[in-house]
Amino acid sequence: MKPQTQAKRINEKIQAIIDDRSRVIATYQLSDDSVQAELRLRARWSIDYAVDRIAYPKNLARNDNPMWDQMRKLEAEIWSDAEIVKGSDYMNELINARTKIGPARREEAKAIFEIEQGRAFLAAHRISIQKSVLAEIRKQISALQAQQKALLPELRKANSEFLAGRKAKKAELTRQNTEALKSGRFWEAAKDALKNYFHPPFERNYLTDVSEKWRAALYTEMASTAWKAGKGDWRHKNIGTGRGYLCGIDDNGDEWGHPVNLHHYIDFDEYGDMGYVATVEDAMSSLFGVSIRDLEQCQRQGDILFHPEPIPDIEMKAEDEWEIRESHTVTSPGLQRNGRYIQSKNKITVSHTSHAPVVLPAGNYRIYALQVADAD
């Protein structure tokens, strides 16, 4: 019988074994990596016991719970025990494919290699399916799977406790967010809860910053632009428009909001497109006309800022009580003031009909008043 015919019959037997997965899982691979001058063949095969794998739940907490580590180790042992035998071999033979008899020699050498490897595989398979071999493997795997089954209730319990804890945590977070918004301390609310609380006058917006000091939240307007990627396909990205909305809840519980121009505070990317990230301080600086450096030292009451700084050589008027603007009154023994400055050698009290009083230490102050109307 020609080697090619014999090799074909052996390969047919091997394929029948591979297709029959009732007792063992068999794999058999032949690869040909030959080059012009050399025939290069490799065979790889394995025979494994057919394991009915026990599926176990994922670790929902994603922590280092030792029970999951134990389950993984048991699974690794099972796969190790299920591996009955595996083998591989190769052949490198100098047979030039471009010679007159080269192709025929290669065909014959390949058939002989397939016969040798096929016989080795078939012999290993006959041993692997013996009742005594399979019984011993089944015994080992059954013992390991019994340990897995004992762990399953504990794994499910751990996941159940995690889900219950997450549900309770979510309920508590919702309560805290509700309380923070209800009390006016909105900066204590989660960003996801806060981003839909205020309503800036933009079709698309981004909650970019929240400040407890200024009791303010800043939203910026977003737009979309198209850009061409390296392969010529068009994509979209978010960009800013330069407009923002500074809003918040005053200590009297009143909500307020002001549109703000942020063109000078938002960076541009390498394509010249405007971003949409800015800070509350950027917005305050724009609205009040005060530098960010000076803003750090300011105290605020509503739409008035007080910044400690030397007073230039200007005429000052003595007046112990002065209404800066409607409902905003400053009082202090020996108070002196003009349109933008106040000074006193005593503490200065700033009062408002619906804001908590602000007490300034004795000294000199410049007044910055918001000049834009509420968005309402």
Instruction: Encode pLDDT of 6-23 as tens digits.
Output: 999 999 999 999 999 888
Which distant-in-sequence residues (6+ apart) come within 8 Å of 56 by Cβ? 71, 148, 151, 152, 155
pLDDT on residue 372: 52
Does residue 67 carry a pLDDT above 60? yes
- pLDDT at position 80 is 95
Cα–Cα dist 84/117, whole Å: 17
Q: How far is CA 200 from CA 254, 314, 322, 365, in A?
A: 16, 41, 35, 33
Band (pLDDT 50/70/90 cuts) for residue 376 is very low
- For residues 115 and 1, the model is more confident at 115
Q: Which residue has the higher pLDDT, 272 or 37?
A: 37
Both tokens of 91, joined, read: 């052949």
Phi then psi for 46, rounded to 5 degrees? Answer: -150, 155
Q: Given the DSSP bridges, would you call strands 328-331 and 348-351 parallel, antiparallel or unpaired? A: antiparallel
Contact 114, 30 (CB under 8 A): yes
Quick one: average pLDDT of 197-203?
93
